[in-house]
Amino acid sequence: MSRKVRLGIVGFGNQGSNYAKFLTEGKVPNIELVAITDTDPGRRELIAERHPDLAVFDDYVTMLESGQVEAVVTTVPHYLHPQMGIQALERGIHVLIEKPAGVYTKQVRELNEFAASKPDLTFAIMFNQRTNPLFRRLKEIVSSGEIGAIRRTNWIITTWYRPQAYYNQSAWRATWGGEGGGVLVNQAPHNLDLWQWICGVPKSVFAKAAFGFRRDIAVEDEVTVVVDYGDGATGTFTTATHELVGTDRFEITGDKGKIVVTDSQTAVVTRYRRSEQEINVSIPTEDIWKMTRDEFDPNEYYTHETVEFDSAWGGQHATVFENFAANILDGSPLIAPGSDGILGVRLANAIHLSAWTGKEVPMDFDEDEFLGLLNKKIAEEGKFPQRA
């Protein structure tokens, strides 16, 4: 069982170089990093310097066809993920794509359809936050029905602070043509995935997005969303990159309880002793006036549990790599199947579409309408080619 998966990394930017570091340090026992591709000569020199034992490629397909790698991870601009995923799978190479799976659902759907035709190959996505013990526990509590049917969810996650210098780092960042959006496609994909993974996929979306609101960028640095889950259940989601002291507060309310998570570390879980609907009809009339005077103590009706988790930055990425390799080696179930990547992209697209049109958008929106409007933004920007 000591066989290791021979992995190649595509892209030696921030994320790729970080992965190379911890993979060569042996942080992931079932992976051997063997090759890295980067199209930039300066970065290839850097690879040779830092990792003299690794094969270095200037072209992705050449690495795929070299016979040296059996799996790849794609740390490249988002638009390229679907096409690179398909190119790898076509050549019998397992693929771990970075989040987001792509920029628009049409391209991600093509990737998913292609991957479905290669069931023997492993196709996963770097939703590292799904390995966070806190979010795994939330998923368990909600899925088990412990807090009942969801009535409402609210997540304010504005801790993604990014100053202007961050945006000025590279020409593709925070552009329509190079990146395909702002906070929705770069920082918040984790949250868009977790929100839906834990609370379910909504039916429709209304959103306000502020483009270049407090940063000198073309794309959104703030978004506020209302979703409708059907049957009266709703949710809100707010994210931003311009808030120096951000908020991270996630609340899930159900028929039998409630969870409030602060700073993605502390969860207060309230469990009602009976369902709220049963309690509702049992409360005596004489308690009502107390209630309107804040003299009502509902403690007899519920319990509280506070669960603390450590923040586990970095380790989470290693866990996803290990799970990816384990799936290749022995078929262990994937924490984040690649096909799940479309969920966050679809939600991000629906949010953009609603913000652009000023209307509520169903989750089965017209993919071509979205792509048409995105291409219009790309054309107006005039820096990158339109997408098909």
From 66, 83, 170, 234, residue interacting with a copy of itself (rule: CB under 8 A): 234
Tell me: does residue 240 bind a copy of itself (CB under 8 A).
Answer: yes
Residue located via tokens 């909504």: 202
SS3 77: coil
> What's the angle, vertex CA 170, arms to CA 80 and CA 12, rounded to 5?
60
Ramachandran bin of 26, using left for φ above 0, alpha for ψ from -120 to 50, beta for the remaining angles: left
Q: Which stretch binds a copy of itself (CB under 8 A): 68-76, 105-113, 173-181, 204-212?
A: 204-212
**Which two tokens mark 242?**
């311009």
Beta-sheet strands, E only, within the chain? 5-10, 31-37, 55-57, 71-74, 94-97, 123-125, 150-157, 204-211, 220-230, 233-240, 248-254, 257-262, 266-272, 302-308, 361-362
9 neighbors 72 (Cβ within 8 angstroms): yes
Tell me: does residue 253 bind a copy of itself (CB under 8 A).
Answer: yes
Quote the DSSP letter at residue 206. Answer: E
Residue located via tokens 């990547």: 341
Please state, in angstroms and as integers, the Cα–Cα distance from residue 306 to each residue in 260, 271, 350, following that order: 9, 11, 35
| Dihedral pair phi/psi, residue 211, rounded to 5° | -95, 125
From 116, 201, 291, 379, residue interacting with a copy of itself (rule: CB under 8 A): 291
> Where in 254-273 is the site for a copy of itself (CB under 8 A)?
255, 258, 260, 270, 272
Tell me the site size for a copy of itself, rule CB under 8 A. Answer: 68
Omega prior to 100 cis, within 30 of 0? yes
Residue nearer to a copy of itself on the CB measure, 114 or 161: 161
Tell me: does residue 214 bind a copy of itself (CB under 8 A).
Answer: yes
Residue nearer to a copy of itself on the CB measure, 114 or 206: 206
Tell me: does residue 213 bind a copy of itself (CB under 8 A).
Answer: yes
Length in residues, the chain: 388
CB of 152 to a copy of itself, least distance (A): 7
SS3 57: strand
From 156, 184, 345, 347, residue interacting with a copy of itself (rule: CB under 8 A): 156
- In terms of DSSP bridges, do strands 302-308 and 266-272 run parallel, antiparallel, or are they unpaired? antiparallel
* Angle between helical axes of 341-357 and 189-199 (0-180°, round to 10): 110
Distance of CA 21 to the CA centre of its chain: 23
Q: Which stretch binds a copy of itself (CB under 8 A): 91-99, 137-145, 284-292, 326-334?
A: 284-292
> Where in 345-384 is the site for a copy of itself (CB under 8 A)?
358-360
Q: Which stretch binds a copy of itself (CB under 8 A): 34-42, 163-171, 318-326, 340-348?
A: 163-171
Tell me: does residue 28 bind a copy of itself (CB under 8 A).
Answer: no
Tell me: does residue 164 bind a copy of itself (CB under 8 A).
Answer: yes
d(CA 208, CA 24): 43
* Angle between helical axes of 105-116 and 81-90 (0-180°, round to 10): 10
Tell me: does residue 161 bind a copy of itself (CB under 8 A).
Answer: yes
CB of 22 to a copy of itself, least distance (A): 13
Q: Which stretch binds a copy of itself (CB under 8 A): 84-92, 107-115, 298-306, 341-349?
A: 298-306
From 46, 55, 61, 279, residue interacting with a copy of itself (rule: CB under 8 A): 279
Please give the residue ranges that form the binding site for a copy of itself (CB under 8 A). 14, 151-152, 154, 156, 158, 161-166, 169, 206, 208, 210-211, 213-215, 222, 224, 226, 228, 232-234, 236, 238, 240, 242-245, 247, 249, 251, 253, 255, 258, 260, 270, 272, 276-277, 279-281, 283-285, 287-289, 291-294, 296, 298, 301-302, 311, 313-314, 358-360
